[in-house]
Amino acid sequence: MLNQPLNRSLFDQVMVPNYAPTRIIPVRGRGSQVWDQDGREYLDFAGGIAVTGVGHCHPKLVSTLKRQGDSIWHLSNFMTNEPALRLARKLTAATFAERVFFANSGSEANEAAFKLARLYNHERYSDTKHEIIAFDQSFHGRTLFTVSVGGQPKYRQGFGPTPTGITHLPYNDITALETAVSERTCAIVMEPLQGEGGVISADPAFVVRARELCNQYHALLVMDEVQTGMGRLGSLYGYQQLGVTPDILTTAKALGNGFPIAAMLTTAEIASAMAVGTHGSTFGGNPLACSIAETVFDIINDAQVLAGVRYKHQLIREKLAAINAKYNFCSEIRGDGLLIGCALNLPYQGFAHHFMHAAQDQQLLVLIAGPDVVRMTPSLLITESEINIGLERFEAAVAQVIQS
Ligand SMILES: *Cc1c(COP(=O)(O)O)cnc(C)c1O
């Protein structure tokens, strides 16, 4: 096996079979382009699942990686470090938050958020105030607590017994929410736009009502911005466009542009429940990850970059609508910023992965969001000409699927 070529079939012999990767193996990336082992070029409209927000190998990130890699990588939280302090200062200055906890993945940031919501309510009110309200199709990660709060039962099947005290309601259903919230509610957990669940935007009135109910019942509003954060929707965080302020926010994916880092943001009052020893992480907030995230933050937290995201949204939407006028493959083009979904028409429902594979044949990387939605999450810095070429390739992929 040590002599076997590094190809897709080796994957099945050495990896746990929980993924089904496509055939190609990219070896190099620059901006919105990647090249596979054969030197074939692809335009990247997948962005490593909304992670490479400033594209591959951004020169400023490469330079930060090299500089910090030459200084110090890791200390543990037995000591603090300069990059972590700088990043936390920037995150708190740019958001509602006053306190930051660093972790390594979206799941871990959410795990911290849910634990903090329970802990705060436990200390401030009572043990019975522990119920978490979450929404159908939501995705919050893969740890046992986060699959339990997530609204996709298939992700917790077989892993029971799972944590209890969690209720799932239909997303955007104000009446269901009003009926379910009570004095026992500890937190309402939502994505401002459901990414994995099918690219479904929150109805602003729904989010406003959730905030009001949280105030009324002294519950915490937790916004999972792991996918929507770091400029993806055209503002640094999605909540900033919704006119509501969360109590806890989680951010990950694009925060490190591929270097693992996540953060949970909250107020000083709520953070005070997480006293010394109540929670922690070995890697979380290490200098290497934080220095990279600080550079990512500096690039993205820029009015021009964020305006560009909103402009490119319109451009992609118009081009997808033109493709759809020709091929009638989707019933709705939806999403916000550079998180865009094509909800497939009935004959193609269940076959989103066919579009993904056809796009790859046409040298374009796209994602799916469930079996019925094709999802695009390109770099926020993608150029207009890359968008044009990418959507020409997408049109060819659509034609390929429809003719097959
Ligand atoms: C990806 C994602 C997560 C999980 O993040 P990991 O880094 O894979 O643990 C959680 N919430 C949302 C909204 C996500 O999109």
**How much distance in Å is there from the Cα of 226 to the middle of ligand 1?**
6
pLDDT at 144 over 90: yes
**How much distance in Å is there from the Cα of 200 to the middle of ligand 1?**
16
pLDDT at 4 over 90: yes
Q: Where are the domains of the chain?
A: 8-58+303-403, 72-300
pLDDT (average), residues 26-54: 98
pLDDT (average), residues 249-260: 98
Query: Identical fold at 8-58+303-403 and 72-300?
Result: no
pLDDT (average), residues 256-276: 98
pLDDT at 38 over 90: yes
Residue from 108, 139, 190 to probe ligand 1 pocket by mutation (most atoms less than 8 Å from CB): 139
pLDDT at 164 over 90: yes
pLDDT at 245 over 90: yes
pLDDT tens string 72-90: 999 999 999 999 999 999 9
pLDDT at 201 over 90: yes
The secondary structure of the chain, three-state, reads CCCCCCCHHHHHHHCCCCCCCCCCCEEEEEECEEEECCCCEEEECCHHHHCCCCCECCHHHHHHHHHHHCCCCCCCCCCCCHHHHHHHHHHHHHCCCCEEEEECCHHHHHHHHHHHHHHHHHHHCCCCCCEEEEECCCCCCCCHHHHHHCCCHHHCCCCCCCCCCEEEECCCCHHHHHHHCCCCEEEEEECCEECCCCCEECCHHHHHHHHHHHHHHCCEEEEECCCCCCCCCCCCCHHHHCCCCCCEEEECHHHHCCCCCEEEEECHHHHCCCCCCCCCCCCCCCHHHHHHHHHHHHHHCCHHHHHHHHHHHHHHHHHHHHHHHHHCCEEEEEEECCEEEEEECHHHCCCHHHHHHHHHHCCEECEECCCCEEEECCCCCCCHHHHHHHHHHHHHHHHHHHHC
pLDDT (average), residues 178-187: 98
Model confidence at 298, pLDDT cuts 50, 70, 90, reads very high
pLDDT (average), residues 88-98: 98
Q: Verify whether ligand 1 is closer than 6 Å to residue 227 (CB atom).
A: yes
Instruction: Give the number of the atom of ligand 1 that is nearest the alpha carbon of residue 196.
Output: 15
Asked if residue 311 lies in contact with residue 333, where contact means CB atoms within 8 angstroms, the answer is no
pLDDT value at position 155? Answer: 97
Q: Atom 10 in ligand 1: which residue has the minimum CA distance?
A: 140
Please state which CATH number belongs to domain 72-300: 3.40.640.10
Q: Atom 5 in ligand 1: which residue has the minimum CA distance?
A: 106
Q: What is the residue-averaged pLDDT of the chain?
A: 98
Instruction: Give the number of the atom of ligand 1 that is nearest the alpha carbon of residue 105.
Output: 7
pLDDT at 404 over 90: no
Percentage of the chain exceeding pLDDT 70: 100
Q: Verify whether ligand 1 is closer than 6 Å to residue 101 (CB atom).
A: no
CATH 3.40.630.30 fits 8-58+303-403, yes or no: no
pLDDT value at position 1? Answer: 81
